Chain A
Amino acid sequence: MASTSQFLASLARLSISSPASRPAASSVPRFLAPSATTQIRCASGGTAQMQARQREKDKLKRKRRQQRFKEYKYAVPSGKGEQFSLCDAMRYLRAAEVGRPPSSVTYEVALKVRTIKNGPVIRNRIRFPYPVKNDTRVGVICPEGSNAMHDARTAGAVAFGEQSLFELIKANANNLPFNRLICHTDSVQALNKAGLGRVLGPKGLMPSLKTNTITKNVKAMMNEMVGAETYREKIGVIRIPIGNIQFSPKQLSENVKTFIESIKGDIARMEDRVDKDIIEVVLCSTNGPGFTLNGGFLPTDEKVEPADLATAM
């Protein structure tokens, strides 16, 4: 088989080299063919090494040509009826979630991004204007009567102090008033001496440098801790909880806006020449269906006011 293909190739080359006469491939007399193949073999062939080198070169050339990388598959929703305004989507989702305890239900956003498979991914932290979870209660370990203690008190820590806090932790280890614990650098020694690792370790509360919970600036750390949310792109989609089911449309729209702005900023800030763009924004809830948003706000039904979508659930 190899010989015939070579033979055909040689014929093609022959016809190119002599455009004046240009014999048709089929019209070449059969007795000419063997001589033609031998000729070409002598001209371009060579040893196996040479052929290998040639193959290598071709491969490189092909690689250079292939500048487009593989992308995650996506489909753009088309048509007008398939997209919803924010209030419409909320109306459906609230109907789907009726009777569920609001503490267990959140609005979620899935952001579809056009992106290559082997490129960098978007990941960052965001603070929403209306935090989704506001049940972060911070405890602060700091020297009694210090500036840090004052800061902790003003920033809204539920428990602070040094020895008094240790005693409190030891006394009711199973019912702690806080779910985050940070430590001031001045109190690290006291903390280590108190031997609370057995109590706090399994709960993941033990302050350490590795978890970034030992700080000099208590106030900044607490600010950072409360209501920050991390997100990360996974196979071309970024998902994040974006609001409590009891949020009003206005609150939710502000959160969504902040989120999209933040993503756009992330994309713009990326180094290299990665071109990612947002394809669609889908709003869903814990147990509800997903709605592609069209960027509008007002409900299509005039009888429903945005204020109606913020009643108790």
Chain B
Amino acid sequence: MKWDEFFVTGEPMIYGAMASIVLVSVAIVVGLTYFKKWGYLWREWLTTVDHKRIGIMYIIAALLMLFRGGMDGLLMRGQLARPENGLLDAQHYNEIFTTHGVIMILFMAMPFIIGLMNVVVPLQIGARDVAFPRLNAVSFWLFFFGAMLFNISFVIGGSPDAGWTAYFPLASNEFSPTVGINYYAIALQIAGIGTLMTGINFIVTIIKMRAPGMSLMKMPMFTWSVLITCVIITFAFPVLTIALALMTVDRLFGGQFFTMANGGMDMLWANLFWVWGHPEVYIVILPAFGIYSEIISTFSKKNLYGYTSMVVSMVAISALSFLVWAHHFYTMGHGAMVNGIFSITTMAIAVPTGVKIFNWLFTLRKGKIQFTTPMMYSLAFIPIFTVGGVTGVMLAMASADYQYHNTMFLVAHFHYVLIPGTVFAVIAGMYYWFPKLFGFRLNERQGKLTFWVIAISFNVTFLPLFFLGLKGMTRRMYTYSAETGFGPLNLIASIGAVGLAIGFGLLVYNIYWSFRYAPRDTTGDPWDARTLEWATHSPIPDYNFAITPKVQSLDCFWNMKKGKEKLFEDELEEIHMPSNSGQPFILGVIFFFLGFALVFSWWVPAIIGGLGVLVMLGIRTFERDHGYHIPVSEIKKTEQRLRGETV
């Protein structure tokens, strides 16, 4: 292979990206060396097994990916802003809508949610950490290096260009001869294994490690949503594992699964992809529902309305999520009977979702509503998400779908579901739990301004796409002629996209400003909240709770504040903690190396990488990690310091 085939050449924008990647990398290395932070980075972050730090790393990575995916989105809107625009050529446009989709779903939405899960769930159930802290670190590093592998495709070898769904035969070697789709198959595989491990880890954590007295129906709603999400992860991700493995076999070893000859079946890919892909939508939306439930209840100063029906409806959604996958390709000819059945199952999902919407509304009813930043996002979510949901029911009708299928109407629909559903939720969750992690609130004035910019720009960007879709503009077309009349609405949408970019810029400024100037919160409970995570100090000590809480009711912390129950009755005891380890990080590096070699079919390095993984497994099985104990005297000192008493 020649060097000019290895690196992507001929595009000024990509040369710019290369230069910036090199510059940023050099800046990071120089900065770390200059400030002598290598040891700190290694000891405190790269080797950590602490769920809070892993959560923070997930969220930082997700924010970075939000900007990477957001740049893709901006470029797409830039290209479509006017007819016959020449900002991007067709190939570049194809690559950008593909990476935008993959990055936003798999490397932004999911890790952001998993990050919040990591931070919050052990605290909400009164646990010291997750069930398998080391495995948790492995999950993070597999996700991280999977994401990095996917991102370098941009400058080395070329990005995938067959859409985030990578349908065959388009994704086959015949029609996608570059290594782009290899990156897709292998990077997603690596990150997906990490996600599966997260799913298992959190199921065990929630089932086995709840504080004494916290029965399942006394769990906070966010924890419930995470439990159900993790069950979906555990049963949906293996399907993706297989689909990607078969794709890899087809592309690297000449398999015949999805080919056009020798008995292959291209529609098999579409089925496998969506058997995972539709549950995936609920993997990113159910925890968001959980976040909104916490926030709405906290800032209405009321307990959550219809707790049991909330749980039941989430279980119903999770079951239905596995029964609707064919609605993604009604038009591909599987007959009236199949389309009819999938129409009904799809529309049925609106019922439990509607139950949840009404529960939130009834929680608000007669509440003392406080308009904080997280609450603003939650209140905006309800109507905007409902628009997304109702257009979803329109799309669910198979016969009508022939009109909307693969048009901008669909694009508008899923952005109307995913942005208020997931993006607003993770931002709201970040504002809400930020003081717990860092000990101060993000500035509220700036937060609200950011909210208005993002919420308004969002609607300006995506509302026109509904009408463009109904007018017949299909998705994924890289340009259009002036005669189509698509120009004005597209221009409005593009202006909205600039507004969104400004909004996210303000968000970053908000975080930066608050780090420098925000006043410290010493209470540990700045929002006057209801659940157990607010019962410990902010920032949280390594061991989370000095004394394991004893829970008697739902909203136990609220009841404690009202003097109705006591949480911390026991004496201090020494606390057992897991030790840090560099192995998860090293394993991630090896997987990156293995994945990169596989992408380019470099067999010898790939075999070395595979052996490296086996060696790491061997080291792990022979290791005896006993962890360490924090003595009572040290816990006392830490507690006094966090309470602000002089030691």
A and B physically associate:
no
Chain B interface (Cβ within 8 Å of chain A)? Answer: none
Chain A interface (Cβ within 8 Å of chain B)? Answer: none
